[in-house]
Amino acid sequence: MKTYTKYLWFNTPTRRAVVHITEQVREAVRESGVKEGLCLVSAMHLTASVLIQDNESGLHEDMWQWLERLAPYRPDYKHHRTGEDNADAHLKNLLTHLQVVLPITNGDLDLGPWQEIFYFEYDGQRPKRVVVKIIGE
C-alpha cells in the first residue's frame, strides 16, 4: 500500500471565498502514483470546509445566502467573548463539513459528471491549509 500527503495553502483576500481545487487534488493523485484507493481532502481549520458541488456560480450564491440565514454574522455570539469575531464561521463549518473522502479509480478521482471539489473559506485573510492524504495501490 502507498501513502502520499500534500498540503494546499490558501490566503484569501476576503473573509469569505470559494476556491475551486479539483485540479490541485487531481495533481496530487497523479503525483501519488496510486491507481486504486481513497483520497481524503480536509480543511485544517474549523472556519473552512471542503465540499463536493456543482461548479455553478448561481448555486454558490444560493449556498452563501442559505448559510448566512442559518449562521449569520452577529456581534453577540458567546464565542466572541474570547476576543474572536468568527463564531458564524465555526457554525458554517458545522453545516458544510470539514472534509471529503473520494474514490480513486484508474489513477484519477472518480467523480460524478457535475462533481467538483471546493474549499469554502468563512474567515479568511490569513494563511490556511488543506491536507490531501492519499492511500491505495
Q: What cell does 115 get?
A: 462533481
Task: Please state, in angstroms and rounded to a whole number, the distance separating the CA atoms of residues 6 and 56.
Answer: 27
Instruction: Please compute the mean of the pLDDT values over residues 28-36 and round it to a whole number.
Output: 98
Task: Please state, in angstroms and rounded to a whole number, the distance separating the CA atoms of residues 40 and 4.
Answer: 10
Q: What cell does 5 get?
A: 500527503
Instruction: For CA atoms 101, 120, 32, 30, give the dihedral sign.
Output: positive
Predicted pLDDT at 54? 97
pTM for this structure?
0.96
Q: Domain segments of the chain: what residues?
A: 2-72+86-136
Condensed to tens digits (0 to 9), the pLDDT of residues 40-92 reads: 999 999 999 999 999 999 999 999 999 999 999 999 999 999 999 999 999 99
Number of Cβ atoms within 10 Å of the Cβ of 127: 10
Q: What cell does 69 get?
A: 440565514
Confidence of residue 111 (pLDDT cuts 50, 70, 90): very high
Integer CA distances (angstroms), 27 to 54, 114, 134, in order: 20, 19, 12
State how far Cα 104 lies from the chain centre: 18
Q: What cell does 135 get?
A: 492511500
Domain 2-72+86-136, CATH number (from 3.40.50.2000, 2.60.120.460, 2.40.50.140, 2.70.50.60): 2.60.120.460
